[in-house]
Amino acid sequence: MKIFLKIFLFFIIITPIVFFILDKAFPLPPNNARASRIVVADDNSPLWRFADEEGIWRYPVEIKDVSPAYIQSLLTYEDRWFYQHFGINPIAIIRAAAQNIHEGKTISGASTLTMQTARILEPHKKSIGGKIRQIWRALQLEWHYSKDEILTIYLNRAPFGGTIEGIGAASWSYLGKTPLELTHAEAALMTALPQSPSRLRPDKYPLDAQKARDKVLDRMLKFGIWDEKTVKEAKEENIYLPPRFTPQLAPILARRTLQMSNERIIKTNIDASMQQNLEEMALNAKSTLHPATSLAMIVVDHTDMSVKAYVGSIDFNDESRFGHVDMVSASRSPGSTLKPFIYALAINEGLIHSQSLLQDTPRLYGYTPENFNMAFSGAVSASDALGNSLNLPAVQLMEVYGPKKFMAKLSSADINLKLPPYAEPNLAVILGGAGISLDKLVSGYSAFARGGKISPLRYLESDPLIEHDFVDAGAAWITRRMLSGEADPAFYRRGFLSFAYKTGTSYGMRDAWAVGVSSKYIIGVWTGRPDGTPVAEQFGAASAVPFLYQINNYLKSKQTNSFLLNDYLDEKPESVSVKNICWPSGQPLAKNDPNCRVEKRAWILNNLTPPTLFSSKQDLAGGWFTYYTDDKGEMSAYYCKNARKQRLAMWPASLTPWLPKKEHISQRLPKKSQTCPPLEDNDPTRTLIIKNVKNDTIFTISKNKEELIPKITSQGGRGMRWWFLNGDLAGQNSEGEFLNYKFTKEGTYQLVVIDESGQSDKSEFIVKEIK
């Protein structure tokens, strides 16, 4: 008896030592299978998968991520004593051996779940040696891991056919749902599938899969795990599944997020249904857009700046349209989409209010752009100028605010514009002379949805919400109303919010843009050719706006009534108020004041009413003109008897050709006194005329030579004058100086001269070549 006791004690002592030595000599294969990286939506549904080196797709899960019904069926069917044994089940081994010997063939196995996990980690052939190795590895697993850890390894590594491993990937592939949502019938099916993944594939062999599933269900009933009603209802579910689901949404965003996160499961803020809707919209657009044209769309929930949909190209698989190129992040010329920023900054700086008088007229010097429609409107309000996307008023504001300051202000909010090589900030930036990506542009528009603060987009659930101060909440609010076409305070209704948007077209019609702000979302759309080739008749209003409206209508159908009535954006800030102002001064005047030529109701910021902007180069006669009148009310010199000082609010001189005649300064000033006339230097009414060129005059030039037409000059007027030939600036000079312009072509020419006081004169003449 003592001998047996000694032997027993010997084994008790020596076994752990031997096990320790063998464990070090033959270490357990590491569970280092590289999980495929999965990009998921906000509801954890897979958007895109990146398989491992062997092409295997795994969707990592924890026990808590799996339906309890699946855990029950798995343990009951595969290893009822999993939490009790030490890796092997001796009773099961003896039972299986007896059955197999009795039948003369293998009809029952004795592998525990731990042993199956061991074989997954270290595959081997079916042999006695292989089985011994499997048992050894199972013991090692029990030594190194807890039961829950072993179960988790199995959940993520069990084979489900083809390139699918783990219950997470299997649940999504076969059933299109998370493993946490498995029904009892589905749990039983997923339990049976690893027994013979190829033979039991439910999408190919539904009847075989159903038999295997029902066998699991019978086992659940036999051992009293599930009641008869549950099993009966589960068996009534037929197995007819569509082809296996492969996550194929947001491929370009998925590729981009690999650089943002090192996690195996990259959780984005994407709304899967919204993403699918927009991708289908893009595919449907292929038949309507020009060949080789792509399309990019992005939707952002501006309440938290989460990106809900991201379509980087029209079709990821279409090489003819450069489908692999991400046009959401590509830097392109934004056309007019930057204009709202200069208006917001000008309001914020106290340079303008919503009804400030701006000048949509040809520029006489420096940068001389034209409007998209090649026409000019003359006097326009800031609201109308922005709403109609007029170029000249935007350039006027840019000149006053300063291009360097404009770009620096945007840069401080993480909106960096890309200038051409060696270029400095300039006036052309406001019309698209600098590059920006669609996602950065949409981020910039958050200023009009978030009280003047710009926030970077949040692609991932883990991305923090960051805010950069850009403009006062009041300036953003006024600008947004100007964009929505509701700048008139008479139409203001608290709680009512219209869709505000801006379009843009780059030079040469290479890019068409539209960016909109609704009660909950910011929507960005770009279309064009990724290689930069111009597309005829492609511009923002015609090419991008239809998609913008289509997306907005879809989003409105998803919104609840509470958001449709939301006044989040429409709550008027305390810094905003209403004031009656007058043109041309831009400031409040009494209604009966003769200088109030046009009355407007304006939104103003901080109770300030900025005067009309005048350029020191373009409008030397702008502002207020001071003159004197005598007892008869006639204009006189300041030193005349009883001379009284008067002031006249002058229209900017460049507006004169567009003003009705009654608004010309010569019509608004009283007639001159005959006894004590005003000094000539202070008389803006001296008539400006073109000398030496009468209508229909014919001039001759020699063929193939550049020749001057002599003695073209002007008389009268005031200060500098600018000469235009057929609408183009031909030169500038002072009174009495000749126009120095060489003519090279025959034709009819219209000559216009404008002086600093806004007076103008014109004449038409003909140039012919000598034969």
Residues with catalytic roles: 78, 336
Amino acid identity, position 717: G
Distance CA 649, CA 168 (A): 76
Residues 102-113 as b/e (b if ≥16 CB within 10 A, e otherwise) read eeeeeeeebbbb
- Cross-strand partners of 749: 765
Distance CA 538, CA 520 (A): 29
689-691 and 713-715 beta bridge pairing:
antiparallel
164-165 and 57-58 beta bridge pairing:
parallel
Structure tokens at 495: 């709680």
Of 403, 395, 398, 408, residue with least CA distance to 424:
403
Amino acid identity, position 208: D
Cα angle 349-586-344, degrees, rounded to a multiple of 5: 30
What values do phi and psi take at 463, rounded to 5? Answer: -65, 130
Distance CA 198, CA 204 (A): 9
Distance CA 80, CA 262 (A): 38
Structure tokens at 153: 């390894």
Q: Under 8 Å CB-to-CB from 720, ≥6 apart: which residues?
A: 620, 732, 733, 734, 755, 756
Which class for 573: exposed (0-12), middle (13-18), buried (19 or more C-beta within 10 A)?
A: middle
Distance CA 185, CA 200 (A): 15
Dihedral sign of CA atoms 276, 278, 281, 285 in order: negative
Distance CA 322, CA 315 (A): 8
Q: Identify each DSSP E strand in 487-547 by its residue range.
A: 500-505, 511-517, 521-528
* Residue 587 parent element (H or E): none
Distance CA 212, CA 232 (A): 15
Give how far the C-alpha of residue 185 lies from the chain's centroid of Cα atoms, to the nearest Å. Answer: 43
635-636 and 576-583 beta bridge pairing:
unpaired
3-state secondary structure of 701: strand
**Length of the chain measured in residues:** 771
Dihedral sign of CA atoms 22, 23, 25, 27 in order: positive
Yes or no: say if 497 and 566 are a contact pair by the CB < 8 Å rule: yes
Of 374, 433, 373, 422, residue with least CA distance to 398:
433
Distance CA 708, CA 701 (A): 8
Distance CA 741, CA 365 (A): 16
Which class for 426: exposed (0-12), middle (13-18), buried (19 or more C-beta within 10 A)?
A: middle
Distance CA 575, CA 758 (A): 37
- Cross-strand partners of 298: 310, 524
Q: Under 8 Å CB-to-CB from 686, ≥6 apart: which residues?
A: 680, 716, 717, 718
Distance CA 457, CA 465 (A): 8
Distance CA 580, CA 649 (A): 16
Per-residue HEC secondary structure of 707-746 comes to EECCCCEEECCCCCEEEEECCEEEEEECCCCCCCCEECCC
Give how far the C-alpha of residue 376 lies from the chain's centroid of Cα atoms, to the nearest Å. Answer: 32
* Residue 287 parent element (H or E): none
